[in-house]
Amino acid sequence: MSMAAPNGCPKLVIPYENSLVSTAGGRSRVSREQGLYFVGNRDTSTVIHSTAQKTGFIVIEFAPQGAYPVFGVPMSEAANGLFDADVVFGHWGRDTRESLSNLEMAGQKLDFIQNQLVGRLRKGPAENGVVDYCIKSLRVSDGQIAIKELERQTGYSRRYLDLLFEKYVGLSPKALARIFRFHKFYRKWARGQSYEVLKQEFEDYYYDQAHFTREFKRMTGYSPREYTRQVSNEFGRRITVK
């Protein structure tokens, strides 16, 4: 099983050897070899499959608010979705995909896409200090800071913060807080801690065990006990502890 839990970060995916099949929200999509794909921010898990042959792909992960200044596309339009770069980024997506397919080595592809992204960032819309501040506050508190406290600290209403997050992140501050709170425990699973260790701390982050279980299942498709005892998901473990 290869499963990617949501972590609040949009991604570019470049399969350069073999294709990938991803299933999320009951829908399956094929990311074909030599393609270029954009994955918007998600608040549910994605299961990833490929055929038995050797598979290679590059994933470039942005900060939660990092894709909008590069691409200028409101992230609400990409939330919980996987898109061909041709569709979501137009001529740039098509031209970049074609150039990547003409490069043989993974290192060459990585260097090329990095230069392309840096170039777009220099020409793209500016970052937003309010969004940056809110995301930093949510991250360092593991999603524990209240949205009302963000309102107080920034001087902006919840409605305005939601509008900013729709554009820059694709998820609301509350949804991103849930993801960061979940990752407090998911990182511990990735480091090999048992369910018994995890459940000792959930009361500091969730109302009760039922709330903890419900949120964990939303993010992974499994209860915490099932996941820590039955699911190996070495893929998810590796990308979580990177």
Nearest to 224 by CA among 5, 47, 46: 5
Report pLDDT digits (tens) over 202-215: 777 787 888 888 88
Determine contact, residues 66/41, Cβ cutoff 8 Å: no
- CATH number, domain at 105? 2.60.120
Residue 52 lies in a domain: yes
d(CA 131, CA 212): 27
Nearest to 113 by CA among 36, 40, 178, 2: 36
| Range 23-44 average pLDDT | 93
Which pLDDT score is estimated for 30? 93
What single DSSP character describes residue 203? G
Residue 224 lies in a domain: no
Domains of the chain: total: 1
d(CA 62, CA 60): 7
Q: Using 50, 70 and 90 to split pLDDT, how confident is the model at 241?
A: low
Residue 59 lies in a domain: yes
Report pLDDT digits (tens) over 43-92: 988 988 888 899 999 999 999 999 999 999 999 999 999 999 999 999 99
Q: Would the pLDDT of 1 be above 80? A: no
Sequence-distant (6+) residues with CB within 8 A of 50 are 18, 19, 20, 21
Q: Using 50, 70 and 90 to split pLDDT, how confident is the model at 242?
A: low
Residue 85 sits in which domain range?
A: 2-123
Average pLDDT of the chain is 90
